[in-house]
Amino acid sequence: NADSINQVFPSYWIENVGKRNLAQIKTILAIDYGKSKVGLALGDNLVRIAFAYKTLPNNKNFWEILAKIIAKEEIKKVIIGRPGHNNFKDSAEAGAIKKLGEKIATELKLPVEYQEEMFTTRMARNNLKEKGLKNLERYDDQESARIILESWFASQDF
């Protein structure tokens, strides 16, 4: 029902999606990994549209919550944002991103791909400002994940 949808998804997201069956969007998960927050987006490779989903705190419960979301949403593939043209060499964050991808692949047995995420936070904040949102920090990570997933869709030949 609409009330339960409003509790889970931000209102700007519902405006973009409408009141259609949100459960159909669950094939691919995109992750914008950060030291304190992790943004998530969902998309379906059939329609090739990505939607901001959630922002999780990057704390001791992160892995457990992420694994539950992956199971609940029946994720088939994970796309993780990778900084610039980095090959996981330049920073601790790049190393953490690589470790996360390896853990998803080995423990959850899902294919993982990486997508460049250069300037996604800036683009996300601009998108959110255009939608009239004031608390950008609340949604910018999930919007960044949406941009990462849309970039990945654009790079694929389906």
Name 49's bridge partners: 44
Q: What is the pLDDT of residue 4?
A: 45
Record the pTM: 0.73
Tokens of 89: 């060499």
- In the numeric block, which tokens belong to residue 107? 């423990």
Q: Which two tokens stand for residue 3?
A: 């009330």
Parallel, antiparallel, or unpaired: how do β-strands 112-116 and 77-82 relate?
Answer: parallel
Angle at 109 between CA 17 and CA 156, to 5 degrees: 50
Q: How big is the CA angle at 68 (ends 61 and 127), to the nearest 5 degrees?
A: 80
**What does the alpha-carbon distance between residue 73 and residue 20 come to, in Å, rounded to a whole number?**
16
Q: 3-state class of 36 per DSSP? A: coil
Domains of the chain, first to last: 21-154 (3.30.420.140)
pLDDT tens, residue order, the chain (158 aa): 444 444 455 555 555 555 455 544 447 999 999 899 999 999 987 788 889 999 999 999 999 999 999 999 999 999 999 886 555 556 777 889 999 999 999 999 999 999 887 666 666 566 656 766 666 566 678 888 998 998 899 888 75
* Total residues belonging to the chain: 158
* CA nearest to 2, candidates 96, 14, 103, 76: 14
State phi, psi for 34 to the nearest 5 degrees.
-135, 165
